[in-house]
Chains A and B, each alone.
Chain A
Amino acid sequence: MKGASLVPTGEATLGPFFPPRYVDEGANDLTVFEGRKAKGEAIEIHGRVLQEDGTPLENLVVEIWQADAGGIFRHSADPRHAQADPDFLGWGRAATDASGNYRFKTVLPGAPEGRAPHINVMVMFSGLMRILKTTLFFEISSDPVLSAVPPGRKGLLVAKKQGPNSYRFDIRLRGEDETPFFDD
């Protein structure tokens, strides 16, 4: 099909019936992969997901993608991928509990070339006709993605440090303090 140009398939909502077994036990723990421990500083990322009226959302699916502790992505497009930590997958999935809380264990990502340390976050749920994508940062820093966010809203993408290795990142889908989501 050389020269073909196909149109990407239309998205649709995850709906309310995403099988619970698809949120595998341990899928929210990125610090261990195939029984081996990832390099770097282990951290916890947790937060609440709320809709416009402040209702916490249960069974919402959160996925993350990030570089390893050295700032390298486990992917052939990263020129440094041969040096990536073999014991770090970089991807994880969690579902929110009845109080709307999700939780990941991971390692503090290093700074990829040209970027500040960050974690890509996506949210899928009933009523979301398209995946919502955002990015978690650890501080306001020089970063092309953070720079794209209007000045008054940048702080909403910075996780709050709550302890030596614990960060809180709440996700508000709509309304007051709405999390900035990216158009992509």
Chain B
Amino acid sequence: MPSVIQPRDERTQPSRIVPGYPQTPLRNPQQSLVKRAPTLSELTGPLDAAKRVRLLGGDIAGHGGKQAIGQLIHLKVRVLDEDGAPVGGALVEMWQANAAGRYIHPNDDDRAPVDLNFYGAARLVTDESGAFELRTVKPGAYPVPTNDGWWRPPHVHFSMFGKVWLSRLVTQMYFPGEPLNAQDRILNAVPDAAARDRLVARYVPPTGNPPDALVFEHQIVLRGRASTPGQP
């Protein structure tokens, strides 16, 4: 079924220029964005991008003598469209810092240690119910080199491919109860409080299953619906 893409409520999306985030005023357009009516070109998109890339699996905490250091966590994520329908077969890319707040990346020269058993990236495809699971360690917080007291709270990056070009999403997921959430410049660039809350994963009290990991659940909603609301 063709997808319908409607304008988003601006308050549920981040401002493009963020006070205290010095790259944003240099890289975001000054001119007004051009309004267009989506055509077939924007309402199609790569359904099988996974065939072009190498999948990495969702179990990235390591096993045996190669276990990453940190709090073992299970992330259970569901990917839905605006109708609440599962988005199955979607390519998901995830990356995060290690438990000490350090990324394996040439750009990260933070003083926190690298964990040789943790690369911190998963790439997989959602199942038919739009679900995917990650076994990882909880990322640490880290200071941003603005050197003015901005620390990123623990967070996980996601890059997702929906059914059409306009449903492509890059986002970040946060953890509940983190004191740094309240002052993070990226999380708080979203004006609407409820929309910010939806970027925070839900903590699931332990039930003994799995026995070794804390569980967090999260929901991601990609743009697009099968039909306009109100229509039969």
- B is bound to A: yes
Given contacts A6-B221, A13-B186, A24-B53, contact A127 B24 (CB under 8 A): yes
Central interface residue in A34, A90, A113, by most chain B CB within 10 Å: A90
Is the beta-carbon distance between A10 and B196 smaller than 8 angstroms? yes
For the complex, is A115 an interface residue (Cβ under 8 Å from B)? yes
Q: How far is the CA of A78 from the CA of B74 in the complex (A)?
A: 38
Is the beta-carbon distance between B83 and A1 smaller than 8 angstroms? yes
Is the beta-carbon distance between A178 and B14 smaller than 8 angstroms? no
Is the beta-carbon distance between A17 and B9 smaller than 8 angstroms? no
Q: What sequence of 0s and 1s flags, for each residue 146-173 of chain B, a beta carbon within 8 Å of any chain A beta carbon?
A: 0000000000010100001110111110
Chain B: how many interface residues by the 8 Å CB criterion? 88
Partner of B168, one of A131, A179, A181: A131
Is the beta-carbon distance between A77 and B170 smaller than 8 angstroms? no
Q: Which residues of A contact B14 (CB under 8 A)?
A: 10-12, 129-130
Given contacts A120-B165, A129-B186, contact A75 B34 (CB under 8 A): no
Is the beta-carbon distance between A16 and B107 smaller than 8 angstroms? yes
Q: Which residues of A contact B172 (CB under 8 A)?
A: 12-13, 15
Chain A 57-86 interface residues, beta-carbon cutoff 8 Å to B: 57, 59, 63, 65, 67, 73-78
Q: Which residues of B contact A77 (CB under 8 A)?
A: 2-3, 40, 43-44, 164
Q: How large is the interface on A (under 10, 10 to 19, 20 to 34, 35 or more residues)?
A: 35 or more
Nearest A residue to B9 via CB reads A7
Give the contact stretch, choosing among B15-23, B65-73, B175-183, B206-214. Answer: B15-23
Return B186 CB to nearest CB of chain A, in Å: 6
Return B104 CB to nearest CB of chain A, in Å: 8
For the complex, is B63 an interface residue (Cβ under 8 Å from A)? no
Nearest B residue to A1 via CB reads B84
Q: Which residues of B contact A180 (CB under 8 A)?
A: 31, 34
Q: What sequence of 0s and 1s flags, for each residue 174-209 of chain B, a beta carbon within 8 Å of any chain A beta carbon?
A: 000000000000110110000110110000000000
Q: How far is the CA of A12 from the CA of B51 in the complex (A)?
A: 26
For the complex, is B36 an interface residue (Cβ under 8 Å from A)? yes
Q: Which residues of A contact B43 (CB under 8 A)?
A: 77
Is the beta-carbon distance between B41 and A112 smaller than 8 angstroms? yes
Central interface residue in B18, B29, B166, by most chain A CB within 10 Å: B29
Interface of A is mostly: loop
For the complex, is A125 an interface residue (Cβ under 8 Å from B)? yes
Q: How far is the CA of A21 from the CA of B24 in the complex (A)?
A: 25
Chain A 101-150 interface residues, beta-carbon cutoff 8 Å to B: 112-115, 118, 120, 122, 124-133, 135, 144-145, 148-150
Is the beta-carbon distance between A89 and B48 smaller than 8 angstroms? yes
For the complex, is A92 an interface residue (Cβ under 8 Å from B)? yes
Return A98 CB to nearest CB of chain B, in Å: 11
Given contacts A8-B223, A24-B54, contact A148 B24 (CB under 8 A): no
Partner of A184, one of B31, B38, B104, B106: B38
Q: How far is the CA of A184 from the CA of B45 in the complex (A)?
A: 15
Can you give 23 contacting A-B residue pairs, CB < 8 Å?
Answer: A5-B84, A6-B221, A7-B221, A10-B171, A11-B171, A17-B103, A18-B95, A22-B121, A65-B45, A77-B3, A78-B40, A115-B39, A120-B41, A125-B27, A127-B23, A128-B24, A128-B28, A129-B28, A132-B29, A150-B34, A178-B29, A180-B34, A182-B33
Query: 10 closest A-B pairs (Cβ-Cβ)?
Result: A127-B23, A1-B84, A4-B84, A91-B46, A75-B44, A183-B33, A73-B44, A17-B103, A12-B172, A129-B14
B residues whose Cβ falls under 8 Å from a Cβ of A: 2-3, 5, 7-9, 12-16, 18, 21, 23-49, 51-54, 56, 80-85, 93, 95, 97, 103-108, 119-121, 123, 157, 159, 164-166, 168-172, 186-187, 189-190, 195-196, 198-199, 220-223, 225, 229
* Besides A10-B13, A74-B47, 10 new A-B residue pairs in contact (Cβ under 8 A), listed by A number: A2-B84, A7-B82, A11-B169, A14-B170, A18-B157, A19-B121, A52-B30, A128-B16, A178-B30, A184-B38
